[in-house]
């Protein structure tokens, strides 16, 4: 090896009919989650055990400057490792030792599998137990899989947070708290904290936290509010620990943010009058910014290819608040518990697809020729070459788009490719 830098369920009569497709897929693997997780969790390091291709993926996706020192790396498997000619556990121990010596400030080291154990010839979970014991009181070592055979794109965050849950402390009986689950940019987290504070809701904690040394405690009086719709395993594991999930749409746009905050406020016993008074300035700012973008998006036809699992709530926002026409909304997976509130807000006539048969979807897409197609990086250039305007879905994960103050910025992401197309025609 070498080192290279859940409450309601959806009934049959609620929301649009769901079509299911199984076939060839075009989507990132879960390793992409490291790109935003390593920025959020400031005292953690992510060591991927994988191939040189995995290292290239992370470097390309992260766009790290050559003089920056990110908190991730790849322990690159060589042919002799895979052939069993080298002791992979000894090699891994050596690489981990190098990382800890070079980065003494890290408190948690994630061992991230890029392939199943049978392929990389390593049981990373046992290795994590052994290394945690060796570096006890210095560094915690946690293993999880981001293999493309087991996870897609945003599922990498779900598997990471799920692996982290055993490390969370237990909240004492009787102590009520609100836990926001899902990675948020620091600026959004600060905005949310301020609004919750003005509403009198607290204590409010976030998972993942900025520092794992400040990991939130979870108990029977912990209320969960999801900020991301792709955290199925994490949400269910938290509920098994006694936490209660608050059903709500996701905080995208004015409508989604209002419903999301109100779901928490209502549970906390906040009156409607107080709630409206607190959020009024944020709503006014968002409406003013969004009005400029709506004029450019209204009436435009949009198609979502499956990639990020954000497709349903983003489609709801673009249709209901920006006036866009939804042709087809496809998403890799639909968790009925976590997405129920969003499905009920989609127009019943929209074509909603779970999964992907790439060739069939592309046939339908080329026939429909929408004004804008939301897709992964691998499909964007070929579609542009066919004269179809595209928006990279990966930008929806990397860009601050949650909450009232980001509503106009979220809409602007979809305005930009349309304006670019207009300029090119001139």
Residues 6+ apart with CB under 8 A from 338: 6, 226, 229, 231, 232, 235
Residues 6+ apart with CB under 8 A from 265: 199, 201, 275
According to the annotation, is 29 in a ligand binding site?
yes
Q: Which residues are documented as binding site?
A: 29, 54, 115
Q: Which residues are documented as binding site for [4Fe-4S] cluster?
A: 29, 54, 115
């Amino acid at each position: 090896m070498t080192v290279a830098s859940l409450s309601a369920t959806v009934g049959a009569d609620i929301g649009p009919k769901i079509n299911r497709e199984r076939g060839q897929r075009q989507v990132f693997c879960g390793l992409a989650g490291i790109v935003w997780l390593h920025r959020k969790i400031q005292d953690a390091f992510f060591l991927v055990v994988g191939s040189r291709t995995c290292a290239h993926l992370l470097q390309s996706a992260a766009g790290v400057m050559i003089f920056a020192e990110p908190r991730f790396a790849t322990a690159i498997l060589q042919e002799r490792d895979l052939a069993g000619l080298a002791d992979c556990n000894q090699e891994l121990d050596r690489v981990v030792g190098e990382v800890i010596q070079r980065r003494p400030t890290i408190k948690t080291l994630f061992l991230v599998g890029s392939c199943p154990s049978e392929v990389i010839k390593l049981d990373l979970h046992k290795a994590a137990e052994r290394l945690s014991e060796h570096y006890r009181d210095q560094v915690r070592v946690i293993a999880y899989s981001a293999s493309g055979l087991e996870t897609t794109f945003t599922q990498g965050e779900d598997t990471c947070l799920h692996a982290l849950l055993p490390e969370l402390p237990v909240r004492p009986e009787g102590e009520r708290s609100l836990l926001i689950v899902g990675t948020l940019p620091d600026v959004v987290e600060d905005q949310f904290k301020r609004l919750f504070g003005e509403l009198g809701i607290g204590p409010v904690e976030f998972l993942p936290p900025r520092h794992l040394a400040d990991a939130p405690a979870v108990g029977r009086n912990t209320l969960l509010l999801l900020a991301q719709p792709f955290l199925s395993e994490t949400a269910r594991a938290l509920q098994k620990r006694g936490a209660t999930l608050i059903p709500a749409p996701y905080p995208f746009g004015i409508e989604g943010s209002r419903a999301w905050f109100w779901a928490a406020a209502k549970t906390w016993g906040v009156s409607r009058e107080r709630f409206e008074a607190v959020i009024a300035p944020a709503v006014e700012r968002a409406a003013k910014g969004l009005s400029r973008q709506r004029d450019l998006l209204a009436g435009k036809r949009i198609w979502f290819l499956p990639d990020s699992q954000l497709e349903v709530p983003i489609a709801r926002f673009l249709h209901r608040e920006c006036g866009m026409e939804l042709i087809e909304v496809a998403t890799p997976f639909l968790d009925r518990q976590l997405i129920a509130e969003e499905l009920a807000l989609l127009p019943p006539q929209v074509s909603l697809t779970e999964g992907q048969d790439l060739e069939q979807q592309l046939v339908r897409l080329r026939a429909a020729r929408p004004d804008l197609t939301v897709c992964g990086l691998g499909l964007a250039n070929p579609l542009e070459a066919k004269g179809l305007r595209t928006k990279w879905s990966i930008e929806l994960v990397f860009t601050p788009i949650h909450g009232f103050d980001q509503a106009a910025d979220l809409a602007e992401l979809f305005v930009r490719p349309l304006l670019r197309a207009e300029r090119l025609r001139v």
